[in-house]
Every structure is written in C-alpha cells, then in structure tokens.
Amino acid sequence: MKQILFPAAVLVLLLSACGPKATPTIDPAQVQASAMAAANTMVALTQAAIPTDTPTPLPSPTPLPSPTPLSLPTLDNLTGFPTASAPTSAPQSGDCLHPLDMGEAGPGHRTIVRNQTGGTINISLNLYKKNDFGQCGSISYGGMSKGSSVTAELPSGFWFAYAWADAKGKSFTVTGSFYVQPAQFDKLELCVRTDNILYKPQC
C-alpha cells in the first residue's frame, strides 16, 4: 500500500507544479498612492515650466525744459516800429568796438540814412550786441552834406547811432538807438536831426 501512495503523492506534486500559477492580488491602496504621487510630480513639473510674469517698468516721462522768455524790443509810440531802449551813452561792449564784418553779419536790410541837421555830418552806426549770426561792430559814413542821404544795408540786431555835425558854424552831437528786425523787408529811413536820430518808414 505504501508503495502505491508514494508514487501517487509524487504524481500529485508534479501535476500541481505544472498547473497554472495563482494570480497575485494587488493592493488598491498602493495603486492609488502611486497614481497620486505620479500626478503630483506632473503638476510640480508643469508649474515649474510656466514662465514667471515679471512686470516691465514703463519709462517715466522726461520733463520738458521750461520756456525762456525772449527779450522783445519796445515799440515806438509814434511810428509803431520796434526800437531798442535808448542808452544814455554809447554801449561799452569792448568786443564790439571794431569794424563790422558785413559778409558774416547776415542779410542786410535796406536803410536810407538822411541828413536833416542843416549842416554836414559824420555818422557811426554800431551793432552793439552780437546778433543771431554772432556778429557785432561798427560802420561809418563821413562828410554827408546838408540834405544828403546814403543807402546802407544793415544786418538785423540792436544798433546805436552817433552823429557829430557842423551846422552854421555850430558843432554838436546827436545819438539814437534802433532795432532792425530779422524779417524786415520794407525800406526804412534813419532820420538824423539836430535833437535825435529816428528809425521810421519815412523822414
């Protein structure tokens, strides 16, 4: 009997070894924990890949320079033409006491210098401030007889006129100041009289 049981037991063992293996059981808690870990890793990587929003500073507006008021000539009440405020004596700007370079002083504006003193005059015209072309200096006309005139091409700017005259044996001097506008197209006259020098449309 023992001889039959032993081979039968071996046969049962062999048959059980060749049979299909039992399927292992999976723990649902472990599956869920693995899925949550993978999901958290993906969220973290996605957040890290998003570029940060750094605000770009806007340029602040540059303040504009405050306007500098221009000094304008005063108006002659009688003629309505601008004249410079009359200095009491010849301006003392040492760098403007030289002959005026007419070629560098800008376009000339036709002016007729009229001798209305009744005698002979010599007249000096001094552009006593540097004009828009950076020039200043003097021009002169001598030996102008009674009633005579001379045409001058005066550049724009502030002028001082000084005339010395001899009329009927009497010597005297007369002064005046005036302003030649940059856009002066009308012919004006410089009227040299015994008491003043005026710059106007007609003597």
Strand partners, 180: 157
Q: What percent of the chain has pLDDT over 90?
A: 41
Angle at 88 between CA 86 and CA 92, to 5 degrees: 95
Q: Report the topology of domain 76-200.
A: Immunoglobulin-like (2.60.40)
Distance between CA 99 and CA 16 in Å, rounded? 134
pLDDT in tens, 141-155: 999 999 999 999 999
Can you tell me the mean pLDDT for 164-173?
87
Instruction: Return the biggest CA–CA distance within the chain.
Output: 184
Higher confidence at residue 41 or residue 156?
156
Distance between CA 36 and CA 28 in Å, rounded? 12
pLDDT in tens, 1-46: 556 666 666 666 666 656 555 566 667 677 666 666 666 666 566 5
What pLDDT does 89 receive?
Answer: 47
What pLDDT does 82 receive?
Answer: 43
What pLDDT does 121 receive?
Answer: 94
pLDDT in tens, 36-88: 666 666 656 656 666 666 666 666 666 666 666 555 444 444 344 444 444 44
The residue extents of the domains of the chain are 76-200
Whole-model pTM: value is 0.54
Can you tell me the mean pLDDT for 104-112?
92
